Structure 1
Amino acid sequence: MSYVLGIDLGTSSLKGILMNKAGQVIAEASAEYDIDSPAPGFSEQHPEYWVVACEEVLTRLSIEVADFGAELEAISFSGQMHSLVTLGDEDTLAYPAILWNDVRTTKQCQQIMDTFGETIIEITKNIVLEGFTLPKILWLQQNKPEVWEKVRKIMLPKDYLAFILTGNMHCEYSDAAGTSLFDIEKREWSAAICEKFAIDMSILPPVVSSVEQVGVVNASYAKRFGLQREVKVFAGGADNACAALGAGVVNEDYALVSLGTSGVFSSFEAEISNYKGKLHFFNHVIPNANYSMGVTLAAGNSLNWFKNTFGKGLSFAELLADVYTVAPGSEGLLFTPYIVGERTPHIDSKIRGSFIGIDTRHELKHFARAVLEGITFSLKDAQVLMEEAKNKKFKQIISVGGGAKNADWMQMQADIFNAEIIRLEVEQGPGVGACMIAAVGNGWFEDFEACRNIFVQYKDATFTPREENVQKYEQLYDVYTQVYPATKTICSTLTNFNE
């Protein structure tokens, strides 16, 4: 039996998923690591954490699966985006990796957008935010010049891990697209951006497709883990792109809604689009394709906050047990989930959440339903931008994460998005996308469409829109979109007052 291994290098853990040609998960293993915060707003990791975690995962899989060493054919990766890895002479690490969720670079982002913003958006199709790679480079230049002088190569996390396994350096399109250094349309590093910000282009690794073989597992690791054949290593992709692939979003008929701590609404895009920063737009792991993505910063986070504040002692099941008894619209109660600011489409760190329309008849169940509806409205903002830009309507939306575990919330999604909502039979996250890249790269399948038909399975139950609810939610969504402009100045004043 032949295997491929998908390695998902996340923010707090590394996961390995071993799959066979039938798309079955043979085994899984994971290893956790810490996030270092040496100063307020700083979020760092030593890349050695990832290497040790990868070795732990490979060890566990080699012990758990008897023919792991004999049958493993290929490895690929999914990785946290944007995080900056810097290498000096002899490929030694020059500085801890500055992670995507590090927020020290507000000043640098403002500098970039003030001096080169329109050009940046035209080239990269994205506004520069604190999470992206370019402002991290500027922070090093301005605050650690002695470190920057030593930098000979920059990499992204999954690519560093591939370098450790193979000895070869590269980057890959979907990850390069999230650096604010990459020309999305030309699919190459931008000489104009590098020149503007004094970045020697020789420090940037060559860029390859996700399914390009970047090497084989080196002899030391092959011996250590009992690998009996030459194991191919394929480039892999950014975690959001791999998540969409692993959910089966391989053409423009489908979208993905992911409800974790934050919320993501993403879709496949065959052509180049420029949403002028209102949506993220990146090259895909699927060759010659792209994807757009809207983000709400507090999806599950809003529900967690609500439970911890108003439903202490209740499980989520108990908190949401009666929401089905409340009609759409929560009897005139509306929630905006801006409790930590908002990303799509407003990009406003000072906006804050609201309950609008509270009166004496509202009980816990009304507030709970309003929270679910508000989170879903915030993701509809991204859906509307995508569908209006393409003059289209999504055939189906695949829901993953916490929102896919509650049938009442699934029905709300169907009604608010006005689309069929389906769920994965088994959710494995971006690791499945990494396995699919290894499988296609290794020649198991002709393309990702063929791979999807084997590797991605959906539950039989489909949630379809209810026309009477759709009409009501369309009216409520119009009201929802009025809350942001009505509260923007108030929230900014209150935020400044508390600083």
Structure 2
Amino acid sequence: MQNYYLGLDLSTQQLKCTLINEAHDIIWENSVNFDKDLPEFMTRHGAIVSDNVVTSPTLMWVKAMDLLMETLKETPYVGSIRGISGAGQQHGSVYWSKSGMNSLSTLDEKSTLADQLKDAFAINQSPIWQDASTTAECRALEELVGGPAELAKLTGSKAYERFTGNQIAKIYRQNRNAFDETTRINLVSSFLATLLLGEFSPVDAADGSGTNMMNIASHKWDERLLKQCGGEDLAEKLAKQPVEGGTVLGNISDYYVKRYGFDAECKIMPFTGDNSATLVSMNLKEGDCVVSLGTSDTVLVYLKKGAASTTESHLMAHPTDPDGFMGMLCYKNGSLAREFIRDEYAESNWDLFNDYLINKQAVLNDCIGFYYWMQEIIPFAKGIHRFEKNKDVNDFSDKTVNVKAIVESQFMSMKIRLGRMGGNNVKRILASGGAAANPHILQVLSNIFGLPVYRQKGMNGASLGGALLAKFALQNKSFEEMMAEYSSTEMDLICEPDLTKHKEYLNHVTQFTNLEASAIHNK
């Protein structure tokens, strides 16, 4: 009988799933779009935005699981799924009440998750990665250990507003009643595993390193940081230490066996962050660099032991190699910012956007823009800043140049900062995320980096990574051995760099860096 492995990905805008067989072939995929399929929650791009405060309704995620499971039930595969793992948008958090955990442990298969868990959360709006309202908490955490560089050395990152520890600290200080009513705290990733287990799931170390609370060397929670973020009770609310990828947490809850037809021996594995899962799906090796172009844009590199943290990048635990690291750059202004520029300057039309991208000159004729449409992470800045011939301007003489400028600016920032992080030995770029479907955007990426750009076949990298993690935990072999047996990483070469243009971009690095500093200074 054929065995299958299921990967879930709870991203900002969708809950996606990918089902693979033993040979890593994708057998079935589906998704629930929060805005479209769950309009009653009134999200826009999956979130509720109020200035710098950005949340998502926790119950919306629960209801999405109901919808996805109903579609899976109709397939012939559900009873042959041997393991489930997956991913969640990094840094988001879920706050269970005591009655909520009790409800989870006594689910009735005749009723939906949403009906039974509608009152399960001490906080109904989960803070997510786009939130930028915790600057005071960030500074307090850094001060505790002696500054941002010391915190980066300890946890892999300086304090970031979106990181879970700082989000918890804000609730602890500003909403103490809700904090006190919280009995358990999940990350978004471990929340999915918790729903499937019917009991509380620990985080995996890779996602735990996106909290500013886990020691990056030991993969354990740091007691001083926990007390700073949530007082004496936070350790109990987190309940369990982080676990390594490849651990088996237990069998799927009986609820899913009775309601949807899962095998009672189907195993649940730790869920990881979406970036970590993307790294897994691409079987990243040294010399590879993933550029993920989604709601946020990220750069991922596989770093071996001895890698150093910086105050503008992230050093995170590796999802399958306990001795390795994932180096990461994360930009908040990704696809939504590009769509904003498309709507403003290209008549909301991607074909026109691409025409301007191909035929216009931007950096190459001294038009440089910085598009911090939302509060940016790298650098910490907000607002749109444009420079024409090194002079600060309200807009370019030719306004359509904004299309090329936003794409070039992002990739120039990535190129420069990857070098600072030690990623100078990169041989190829692996593109993923929604905007990676656009070959014209990828050509600019290739020209700026001076490297060939490949794209994985199939675009749901994080949910595929989850399915591979599920299989990995049930193998008696290393992840590398498993992937060597059946590759899931067929890559299409999308474009080669125009080396003449690459040299011209390199000639603008100093100018770009100076203007960026000017934009930050004038924010």
Q: TM-score, length-normalised on structure 1?
A: 0.88
1:263 aligns with 2:297: yes
Residue of structure 1 equivalent to 2:167: 136
1:245 CA displacement: 1.8
For the Cα contact (< 8 Å) 1:296–1:379, is it kept in 2? no
| 3-state secondary structure, aligned to 1:149 | helix
Residues 462 and 269 of structure 1, relative CA distance in 2, 3 Å threshold: same
Q: Residue 83 of structure 1: which of 88, 92, 96 is its match? A: 92
CA distance in structure 1 between the partners assigned to 2:367 and 2:89 by the alignment: 37
1:51 aligns with 2:78: no
CA distance in structure 1 between the partners assigned to 2:420 and 2:251 by the alignment: 42
Q: Deviations over 1:334-391 (max 9, x none)?
A: 22333434322x3x234642142399996566443333222211221332223xx36x
1:238 aligns with 2:239: no
Q: Deviations over 1:95-121 (max 9, x none)?
A: 233323233323322332344452433
Residue of structure 2 equivalent to 1:497: none
CA distance in structure 1 between the partners assigned to 2:356 and 2:122 by the alignment: 55
For the Cα contact (< 8 Å) 2:396–2:402, is it kept in 1? no
CA distance in structure 2 between the partners assigned to 1:449 and 1:476 by the alignment: 43
Residue of structure 2 equivalent to 1:318: 352
AA matched with 1:208: V
CA distance in structure 2 between the partners assigned to 1:95 and 1:195 by the alignment: 20
For the Cα contact (< 8 Å) 1:439–1:445, is it kept in 2? no
CA distance in structure 1 between the partners assigned to 2:508 and 2:50 by the alignment: 43
1:448 CA displacement: 4.1
Q: Residue 94 of structure 1: which of 114, 122, 125 is its match? A: 122
2-11 or 288-297: bigger deviation: 288-297
Residue of structure 1 equivalent to 2:490: 457
1:297 CA displacement: 3.0
For the Cα contact (< 8 Å) 2:204–2:271, is it kept in 1? yes
AA matched with 1:383: L
1:37 CA displacement: 4.4
Q: Deviations over 1:60-116 (max 9, x none)?
A: 0120x22x2331111112012212222343535322333232333233223323444
Residue of structure 2 equivalent to 1:334: 368
Residue of structure 2 equivalent to 1:182: 214
1:199 CA displacement: 3.6
AA matched with 2:195: I
Residue of structure 2 equivalent to 1:173: 205
For the Cα contact (< 8 Å) 1:265–1:295, is it kept in 2? yes
CA distance in structure 2 between the partners assigned to 1:439 and 1:287 by the alignment: 15
AA matched with 1:457: E
Residue of structure 1 equivalent to 2:151: 120
Residues 373 and 196 of structure 1, relative CA distance in 2, 3 Å threshold: closer
Written as runs of structure 1 = structure 2, the 5 A alignment for 1:274-423 is 274-288=308-322, 289-312=324-347, 315-321=349-355, 323-326=357-360, 329-344=363-378, 346=379, 348-350=380-382, 352-357=384-389, 363=398, 366-386=401-421, 389=422, 392-423=424-455
* Identical-residue share of aligned pairs (%): 20
For the Cα contact (< 8 Å) 1:168–1:214, is it kept in 2? no
For the Cα contact (< 8 Å) 2:269–2:473, is it kept in 1? yes
For the Cα contact (< 8 Å) 1:5–1:74, is it kept in 2? yes
480-489 or 173-182: bigger deviation: 480-489
Runs of 4+ in 1 over 6 A off after TM superposition: 358-362
Gaps (5+ residues) in structure 2? Answer: 102-119
Residue of structure 2 equivalent to 1:466: 498
CA distance in structure 1 between the partners assigned to 2:297 and 2:496 by the alignment: 21
Q: Deviations over 1:182-211 (max 9, x none)?
A: 001111010221244524323322321121
Q: Deviations over 1:258-294 (max 9, x none)?
A: 2224321111112253333210221121221211111
Q: Deviations over 1:19-72 (max 9, x none)?
A: 112222221222235457496544334534323322321220120x22x23311
Residue of structure 2 equivalent to 1:3: 4
CA distance in structure 1 between the partners assigned to 2:459 and 2:17 by the alignment: 14
| 3-state secondary structure, aligned to 2:365 | coil
Q: Deviations over 1:450-483 (max 9, x none)?
A: 4275222111x35223332221111022221110
CA distance in structure 2 between the partners assigned to 1:219 and 1:402 by the alignment: 36
AA matched with 2:121: L
236-245 or 355-364: bigger deviation: 355-364
CA distance in structure 2 between the partners assigned to 1:469 and 1:244 by the alignment: 29
AA matched with 2:440: D
Residues 246 and 336 of structure 1, relative CA distance in 2, 3 Å threshold: same
For the Cα contact (< 8 Å) 1:336–1:354, is it kept in 2? yes
Residues 449 and 48 of structure 1, relative CA distance in 2, 3 Å threshold: farther
AA matched with 2:66: E
Residues 133 and 303 of structure 1, relative CA distance in 2, 3 Å threshold: closer
